[in-house]
Chain A
Amino acid sequence: QSVLTQPPSASGTPGQRVTISCSGSSSNIGSNTVNWYQQLPGTAPKLLIYSNNQRPSGVPDRFSGSKSGTSASLAISGLQSEDEADYYCAAWDDSLNGSVVFGGGTKLTVL
């Protein structure tokens, strides 16, 4: 049972816009920034979004993040076949001396 809650799956057709939600609590998302990781099949996770809405160099601007209260969202516009991957949200949690918490992951399928 992950501390952050994500839908297990999402899907869209090429060119569509999809969003993935991430729900937490006041001790994590409510008081800290949210990061998103993309994991392509058989590879290590890759940082996609940090500090709620910042893209590392090299990440296309089709990917965007937002946060409101104790929830966050990842949006992917102009969906492409290579976006098919698992997506994880993560945040710092202030409880129990501080820790990193991940969501359970969302498998994105491009139809």
Chain B
Amino acid sequence: QITLKESGPTLVKPTQTLTLTCTFSGFSLSTSGVGVGWIRQPPGKALEWLALIYWDDDKRYSPSLKSRLTITKDTSKNQVVLTMTNMDPVDTATYYCAHDLSIAGGDYFDYWGQGTLVTVSS
């Protein structure tokens, strides 16, 4: 059974760096074709993909946020960490991590965490 859970601060101040951890079970991030992604959703708005890290440590970032994002993995701890620098109130959102399968023709997220709401405010 695959499960994922996001953890991190619920409130950050503008200009601070956000660090979120995704702790998962039921799969290994060293298995070929597997990845973990981060997706966010501002209140009342659409989903926005942020970053992906694959079993082979290949990393992909949203072009519009690339300069602010870093994604890393700790395979031994079954964790993926996302950092986002220079937080702004517009970054207030629910942040999800999700299990990714990479197949010919694209990726898809078949298991999602429950999400964690991060509010950016002074």
Residues of A whose CB lies within 8 Å of any CB of B are 2, 32-35, 37, 39, 44-47, 50-51, 56, 88, 90-92, 96-105
Contact A99–B49 (Cβ < 8 Å): yes
Nearest B-chain residue to A100, judged by Cβ: B49
Is B57 in contact with chain A by the CB < 8 A criterion? Answer: no
Contact A32–B106 (Cβ < 8 Å): yes
Contact B96–A35 (Cβ < 8 Å): no
With a CB–CB cut-off of 8 A, which chain A residues contact B47? 37, 39, 45, 88, 90, 102, 105
Nearest B-chain residue to A95, judged by Cβ: B63
With a CB–CB cut-off of 8 A, which chain B residues contact A45? 39, 47, 96, 109, 112
Contact of A44 among B37, B103, B112 (CB under 8 A): B112
CA distance A108 to B89 in the complex (A): 29
CA distance A51 to B107 in the complex (A): 9
Contact B48–A56 (Cβ < 8 Å): no
Contact B46–A2 (Cβ < 8 Å): yes
Contact pattern, B 101-122, Cβ under 8 Å of A = 1, otherwise 0: 0010111111111110000000
The contact sample of 13 A-B pairs, CB cut-off 8 A, is A32-B106, A35-B106, A37-B109, A44-B112, A44-B113, A44-B114, A45-B47, A92-B106, A99-B60, A99-B62, A100-B37, A100-B60, A100-B107
